[in-house]
Amino acid sequence: MNHPWFNSSGISEKEVRLSNSMRLVWEQHVYWTRMTINSLAFNLPDLDFVTARLLRNATDMGDLLRPFYGNRIAVMFSNLIREHLLIAVEIVKAAKAGDQRAVADAERRWYANGEEIAEFLSTINPFISEEEFKEMFFEHLALTTQEAVLILQKDFKASIAVFDKIELEALQMADTITAAIVRQFPRKF
């Protein structure tokens, strides 16, 4: 395995399950975001359904934290991720409408939310560096913005190349969170 927390003594089945689940929700995060961007950009009839599924991802992400941190922390994280997703939708709508002022305002709030997410994770887990996670998350935001712009410009080939980077970034964030949880709660694994 190529996980950053793999060691010579191996990893437990519980660690593998957590890793797989964390990677899945982060993969879904970026896939449903891309589908929502496409639905918004091209006025697809599935927009409401795709957006609802995208927002469910926030709950799914929080649910993975619940066994370790309890309900309150899980809900708080879900709310931060939900805000992240809703702001992303705002940005795409404003960009499509050509409203640069609204785009700038939403992007400011999006990065502030990204800072909150990094701070939150580092507060609940001492093995998550706030600065390192913020750097990863900001890269996620920049790449997602680039992806949306390319889709709106109908440069699909370039948007796919950017999406490949987004996917790798998402897996890196998933692995960072998983490794930190395993280190913080070794007796659960």
Q: How far apart are CA 79 and CA 62, in angstroms?
A: 8
User: If you count them, how many residues does the chain have?
Assistant: 189
24-69 pLDDT per residue, tens: 999 999 999 999 999 999 999 999 999 999 999 999 999 999 999 9
Kind and range of the H or E run holding 105 = helix 100-124
What is the reported pTM?
Answer: 0.92
Q: How far apart are CA 52 and CA 55, in angstroms?
A: 5
- How sure is the predictor about 8, in pLDDT bands with cuts at 50, 70 and 90? low
**Residue found under tokens 């589908």:** 35
Q: What is the pLDDT of residue 10?
A: 75
Query: CA of 54: how far to CAs of 24, 88, 170, 185, in Å?
Result: 13, 11, 15, 29
**Residue found under tokens 């964030």:** 173
Q: How far apart are CA 189 and CA 181, in angstroms?
A: 10
Q: How far apart are CA 112 and CA 18, in angstroms?
A: 28
